[in-house]
Every structure is written in C-alpha cells, then in structure tokens.
A = this chain, B = another copy of it.
Amino acid sequence: MKIGLIGFGKAGKAVANVILQHTDFSLEWVLRKSGILEHTSAKEVLGISVADPGLIYSEQNTDLEALLNKKPVDIIIDFSTAEGIYSYGKIASRRNIKIISAISHYEENEKRFLKELSLDTVVFWSPNITLGVNYLLFAASLLKNIAPGVDIEVIEEHFKAKAGISGTAVKIAETLDIETSSINSVRAGGIVGKHEVIFGFPYQTVRLVHESISREAFGSGALFVAENLNKKGNGLYNFEDILRPYFFNQS
C-alpha cells in the first residue's frame, strides 16, 4: 500500500519511522507545513537504511494535485493539525484516497467535514491511534458492561512536566462513565506514559494496564488501521469499528 504522510513533528517522524521499516507499505512522500528539511528524505533524517526514501515536501512550495499525479497513494495519514484536513480532504475524497486522521481534537466544523468526505471515500479518525489504548478502552468498557456496579479508578502516570490530566485518561473516564475525581494523576521524572484501570470487586481486583514505550506506537496503530480499512466501503470509522469484528470472529 502506498502512503502519503501529512505532518512531520515528533509523532509524524515516529510514524514515518514505522512505515519505512514495514515492507507491506511504502512511504511515497511526506508533506509538512515548514520548509525545513525540504527535499531531503525521511530515511536520512531518521538515520535508518531502507529502500524507500520518503521524500519530504513543504506545503509552501508544493501543489498536492501535481504531487499525487507524480506519486499516487492509496492512503493519506494525517498527523498534522486540526486544520490540516482542509488542505487535502477534498482532493483525497475526489480521488478515492483513504484518509486516516490521528488528530487529537477536532471542532464541530472539522467533524462535519469528515462526515461529508466520507460519502466519497473511506475516512477514519481516532484521537489516540495506538492499538493498546483503544483495546484498553474496549476491554474496560466490556467489563463495566458485565459488572455495572463495580468500583472503577484510573491511575495515569507521566513525566513531571506534563500538565493536566492526560487526554487518554479523560477518554477512559468518559467511556466508563466515571467521575474525573476517580482519575489519579502521577507526575514523576521521565515516565513515558502509563494508564491503569482498576476494577475493584469485593473479593477480587482486575487491572488493565497500558504502558507506552515510544511514539512509534502511533505508527503501528496507523498501519493496523490501514490494513483493517482494506475492504471497508465508503464511510466514517473510528477505532472501535475496527476492533469490533475481531470479537465476532473470535473462536
């Protein structure tokens, strides 16, 4: 599958790193706002030796239609900003290029736009695109469904400088319908990221724990989504739509 990547910040770089090392996918190009590193290759920037170069283009000097004519792609993966979607959405949907967006937060306007685009192509959006966190949400929600009265608490641990409750913890609380006061935020040293959901029963305890090792997890998640969108018809999908069929196929 041929992929075009929008965005080349910390997350974008990690995603490029994963795509470049995966033989089932080729990174045709990277499109970023800034002009830095223009026309160098992502593989050089990342210091890895692979076949695909993953040439970097700047939005400032690039016509997307021309780029797509020269280097067509099956999927556009978006790790830029909320506004990014306006720069490629229409063009992608018209060409029936699948869209995978990992933008953390969209306003109503963008959500409506995604919906509109999804009439003509496959559109996927997940604010956290790691497989682990989405599985955790899914599995936790199942247990809450089984045992509605169980006591639930969340512990999230991150590096000292991280301000506020983590977005993932807030999402867990929303999904499980628990108060924000049940989220315990630990900030210490360089902890990369850990989320633990504690289900306290009278005579037993169940814990679901997700630990982040590196941002490359976003890349694995995006490629997992790409594979699973393969046979989907046009429409707007989220991560739960991707995970649900695995359950039905469970032996």
| A interface residues with partner B (beta carbon < 8 Å) | 130-132, 135-136, 138-139, 141-143, 145-147, 150-153, 155, 157, 159-160, 184-192, 198-217, 219-220, 243, 246-247, 249-251
Q: Is the interface of A mostly helix, strand, loop or mixed?
A: mixed
Q: Complex formed: what's the CA distance from A226 to B69 in Å?
A: 59
Residues in B with CB closer than 8 Å to A159 are 200
CB proximity of A171 to chain B, nearest CB, Å: 15
Given A142-B250, A160-B151, A184-B155, residue A204 in contact with residue B200 (CB < 8 A):
no
Copies in the complex: 4
Given known contacts A130-B204, A151-B160, is B211 in contact with A250 (CB within 8 Å)?
Answer: no
A190 neighbours in B (Cβ, 8 Å): 200-205, 213-214
Q: Tell whether, in the assembled complex, residue A210 and residue B217 are in contact, meaning their CB atoms are under 8 Å apart.
A: no
User: In the complex, what distance in Å separates the CA atom of A191 from the CA atom of B57?
Assistant: 34
Question: What are the nearest 9 A-B pairs in CB distance?
Answer: A188-B200, A189-B200, A203-B217, A184-B184, A151-B188, A207-B209, A203-B216, A132-B204, A139-B139
Nearest to A138 among chain B residues (CB) is: B142
Q: With the chains together, A205 CA to B165 CA distance in Å?
A: 20
- Chain B residues with CB under 8 Å of A204's CB are 130-132, 189-190, 210-213, 217, 220
Known contacts A131-B146, A146-B135, A151-B189; A206/B209 CB under 8 A: yes
A189 and B216: CB pair below 8 A?
A: no
B-chain residues with CB within 8 Å of residue A130 when the two chains form the complex: 204
Chain B residues with Cβ below 8 Å from A132 are 199, 201, 204-206
Cα A216 to Cα B201 with chains together (Å) = 11
Within the complex, the shortest CB–CB distance from A143 to chain B, in Å, comes to: 6
Taken together as a complex, chains A and B put the C-alpha atoms of A60 and B71 apart, in Å, by 47
B160 and A200 contact, CB distance less than 8 A: yes
- Provide the bound-state CA to CA distance between A136 and B157, in Å: 21
For the A-B complex with A135-B143, A191-B200, A192-B213 known, give 10 more contacts whose Cβ atoms are closer than 8 Å.
Answer: A132-B199, A139-B139, A139-B208, A141-B250, A151-B187, A203-B212, A203-B216, A205-B213, A206-B208, A206-B210
